[in-house]
Every structure is written in C-alpha cells, then in structure tokens.
Homo-oligomer: A and B are copies of this chain.
C-alpha cells in the first residue's frame, strides 16, 4: 500500500536506496478512518503528519453560516498535512470521503529523516509547492471560470491525478463524491452541479453516476475546461 506514496515522492526526485528505505520506514504506523470521519480536525494540532494510503480525503472549512468549502481532494500517496509540521494549529480540517487508511508520521521522525536525508526534505517541500499550485488553479476556476468549465476542469484534474498513481482504467475512474461534495468543492449549489452534469452527459463529454466517472470525449472535455495539466507537475523531471 505504501507503494503509491513512494511513487508520488519519486515524481519529485530520484531516490537512492537508502532514501527510499528511510521514506518507507515512516509509513509503518497506519490507521483506518470511516467515511465521513475527520482525519484531522479544524483547530487541532496533531503531533504527526498524515499520508494517505488508500481512499480519498478532502481539505475543507466550514464557515459560521454553515457553508462548507472544500479546498482540495487528496488521493493515495498524498502527503496531506505538512501544515502541522511547521505551522500552528490547523486552520481547516481534513475529512475522509471514503473509508481511508492513512499513515500517521510523528513530526519528530520527519525532522530526523530530513536531517539525515536533506533531499527528502526538499522533496517534501516541493510537494507542498505543488499543493499550492493546485490551490491557485482552483482559485482561478472559482474566480473566473463558469460553473460548466469548473466542473469539467475538476473532472480532468482528478482523472489526471488518479491516472498518475494507477487508479484510473483508461478514461473511467472511481470518484465516490456526492453532488453535494462536488458543489462544495466548486463553490456552487448542488442543484446547479446537477444541471451541469446533465449537460456534460447530454453533450457526451462525460458522465458521473454513483461515484463512477466516465470521460467519453477527453479532448472536448479538456478544451471545454481549459485544462492544462502542467501545474500538476506530473511526469516532468524535477530540477533537483
């Protein structure tokens, strides 16, 4: 199970054997979370960082009004919470969308590993920079893209990311979100998300049913979304 995490880190840099072993050794302590549970709660300050091994999680914030904004999805292999390593208590929560197995890595051990293998530190840093790139892309969407473009875009993005860790079969993949989740991620209402999904189906670009996405016309969908995967930094040699 830790293989996907390894795979992701190796996108950041070519690891030596020793580095690989040191990294995998971090992932020994794992824990299972039920769907809907909080892996890390808002305001909490856990003594460990989290790596997703299986399942899907999301970062989210709930406003005083009760409105929820999902900030990102995390999939197998993602280091989802370096925040607590260097920063203060969490300013958002991480919730399990499906049942999830995660590794909880004590901060102390991360610091030790970085001290012994500085390049791993750079890889972790790089990973948080990629997270930032995702945030920016979503911001562009919420600020300047229509609902239709946003939904198309997120489907492209998720497909791309799942493919990169071997979790998509061709142009079809599991994405066990409700329309409500999707709406909270895109800053829309669930009803409007539904209408957009209908339109995507009618136009034979993609279908989303019962947590399964099928992309029927990748090129059209990509064009409709204005999706350019460079920001994901997948499949590009890192400058290290």
Chain A residues within CB distance 8 Å of chain B: 59, 61, 63-65, 67-69, 71, 82-83, 86-89, 91-92, 114-115, 118, 121-122, 124-126, 128-133, 135-140, 142-145, 184, 186-187, 226, 230-231, 233, 236, 238-240
Contact = CB atoms under 8 A, between A and B. Distances in A.
A186 B143 contact: yes
A187 B146 CA distance: 11
B63 A144 contact: yes
A59 B133 CA distance: 12
Assembly of this chain: how many copies? 2
A225 to B, nearest CB: 11
A156 to B, nearest CB: 15
23 contacts: A61-B136, A64-B226, A65-B144, A69-B139, A71-B139, A82-B129, A86-B122, A86-B125, A87-B130, A87-B233, A89-B230, A91-B133, A91-B231, A115-B118, A118-B118, A118-B121, A121-B121, A128-B128, A128-B132, A142-B142, A143-B184, A143-B186, A143-B187
